[in-house]
Structure 1
Amino acid sequence: MLTQKLTPAQVELYHQQGYIIIKGFCKPDEVNKLYNTALEDNAMLNNAFDLDDLTGKKTKLSLWFTPGNDIFGYLIRSEKMIGSVKQLLGGEAPICHYHSKLMQKEPKVGGAWEWHQDYGYWYKNQFMFPDELISVMVALTESNKQNGCLQVIKGSHKLGRLNHGFAGEQMGADIQMVNNALKTMELVYAELEAGDALILHSNLLHRSEANLSDHPRWSIISCYNLQSNPAYNETSASYKVPVDIVPDNAIMDWDADSLSNADFLKKENDPALKKTGWESA
């Protein structure tokens, strides 16, 4: 049995507003180890690709599917991570890891993310049930207004899936509905200290500004799916494989493999970035 990681009040708040912030989710020594590995592991850097925003600024990310025996795999599979996700998703089905991505927003050049829902992307992968998908972002550096922290529209997950079209190389939500949501609901700047976690419902509207500061903004975002939620246009099988949970101390105490063993996504293979015809309808 997984230990209950969240209070009933936190679970209720997630369902009410579509997100929660957990302060100090990772300890400083864990953050340092994760961040230094991200900087030094050539596999992570060699498998990064850019996505242009509407202005042509680039956001760099590395995305992989199967959580391994590397330092990030230990975080992704940790009891604190899976225990928190299980409480929020509920249900009887096991938790599966869909994918994780290292977001690398460099000073002065890191691009914006347009307003979108994660399910706006995953709808193209033909996942059936958005309530059974969730994202956990762990800040590896400070994330604030100056370096383009995430902005969320509180409660917008209750709108259901909005239409999405291309915004640069990204998927952007119907801007009229976004503007309506901004008139109706509260805009929140989700500022984080390194080690804090931001957990998002798959239909929560969110965006981030370009990083025009002198400081990097790096984070790891891990996305999870209940095994009961099928996807009919997804080539990786990770979304339906139950996570092999490890103790929290694995992050610091266990020997870790290189990320070179990870099954990284190639940009040209991502269904969400391929035009289907309905985006411009």
Structure 2
Amino acid sequence: MNLNSDQISFYNENGYLKLDNYLNEEEVDILSAELPKTIEKNSPRIILEDNGSVRSIFAPHFVNETYKKLARLEKFVVPSKQLIGHDVYIHQYKVNTKKGLKGDWWEWHQDFPYWHIDDGIKDPHLVSVMIYLQDTDSSNGALLMVPKSHKMGIVKFANKGDLANAAPGKYSDHNKTTDYSSSLNANIKFTIDPELLTKLANDNSIVTANGKKGTALFFHGNLFHASNINLTPFDRDAIIITYNSINNLPTNTKNPRPDFLVGNDYESIEKLEYSL
């Protein structure tokens, strides 16, 4: 699928593009059925909440053929190439889960600071695609966004003190203390300065990306975004595939983050899939 000029203009202006019914019910059902097969006990790819529920599943395509196919679907790769302007590879791939009555929040942040500071990527124009596997709204943790915030570049971070001294949660032994762990839990290290967030929200408002299951949300690496806790008794799962230009590779080769966080297959995606 090719995006039209109006869709590309909307994305460039606002930093996101939401496409309803992008996957059909059968495709969503397939992904939902395969999701449990991507979870490996005690794997570093699996990030837990302090209450023990699964928070994130990284690199599901490492262990599951269906999820490997998903990231190569024409309907995701081609629009991402249009928005980035170059051939692309998978920089990061994860499923963020919010278990019913247990799923925690994601604080206000930009994604690109992690990729720039931790991975050494120069250009911010990576595109993430979020795919909802359930109907999603403000009650179960739909993405919150500040339109046009992506135009500001990397912004001032909130002063959060020493994250290393934060009290460990009950399940911190599973989420090993590492240089990268503070980008994965509910107390992420690079959050947006509250005064700046207030100003931008007053200027541009906050948009809630409500969507039925099968909705796809394309968004820019510097877009301000967050999500709330899941207040419903039902699980909410969202797949996020991040595409990067093959001309914008990570430069941190001395101390790279693990390959389940930072893709190291830089071959452009040429062999496209057209169905799951």
Q: Is the 8 A contact 2:97 2:237 kept in 1?
A: yes
Q: Could you list the runs of 5+ residues in structure 2 that have no partner in the other structure?
A: 164-185
Q: 1:204 aligns with which of 223, 235, 239?
A: 223
1:21-64 deviation digits (Å, cap 9, x = unpaired): 01111111010000111034443895421256xxx897600112
The partner residue of 1:164 within 154, 157, 182 is 157
What residue is the counterpart of 2:170 in the other structure? none
Cα RMSD of the aligned pairs, angstroms, is 2.4
Residues 120 and 164, structure 1, Cα contact 8 Å, conserved in 2: no
Which residue number in structure 2 is paired with residue 22 of structure 1? 19
Query: Aligned equivalents of 2:25 and 2:271: distance in 1?
Result: 22
User: 1:69 offset after TM fit, Å?
Assistant: 6.7
Question: Counterpart in 2 of 1:265?
Answer: none
SS for the counterpart of 2:234 is: coil
Cα 1:137–1:191 shift into 2, 3 Å = same
1:221 pairs with 240, 243, 257, which one?
Answer: 240
- Aligned residue runs from structure 1 range 122-201, under 5 A: 122-124=115-117, 125-131=119-125, 133-164=126-157, 169-170=187-188, 171-201=190-220
Equivalent residue letter for 2:57: S
Equivalent residue of 1:60, what SS? strand
Cα distance per residue 1:220-267 (max 9 Å; x no partner): 000010011131224545363312432212x1xxxxxxxxxxxxxxxx
Q: Cα 1:44–1:128, aligned 2, differ >3 Å: closer, same or farther?
A: farther
Q: 1:64 to 1:9 in 2, by over 3 A?
A: same
Gap runs ≥5 in structure 1: 252-281
**Which structure 2 residues correspond to residues 1-281 of structure 1 after superposition, within 5 A?**
4-43=1-40, 47-50=45-48, 60-64=55-59, 70-90=65-85, 93-124=86-117, 125-131=119-125, 133-164=126-157, 169-170=187-188, 171-233=190-252, 234-235=256-257, 236=259, 238=264, 240-249=266-275, 251=276
SS of 1:231's equivalent in the other structure is: coil
Instruction: After TM superposition, give the deviation of residue 83 of structure 1 in Å.
Output: 0.6
Kept in 1, the 8 Å contact 2:143–2:225? The answer is: yes
Once residues 42 and 130 of structure 1 are traced to their aligned partners in structure 2, the CA distance between those partners, rounded to angstroms, is: 30
- Alignment-derived partner of residue 172 in structure 2: none
TM-score by length of 2: 0.80
Tell me which amino acid in the other structure corresponds to 1:130. P
Stretch deviating more after TM superposition (70-79 or 235-244): 235-244
Q: Which has the higher helix share?
A: 1
Compare relative contact order (CA 8 Å, sep 6+) and give the higher one, 1 or 2.
2
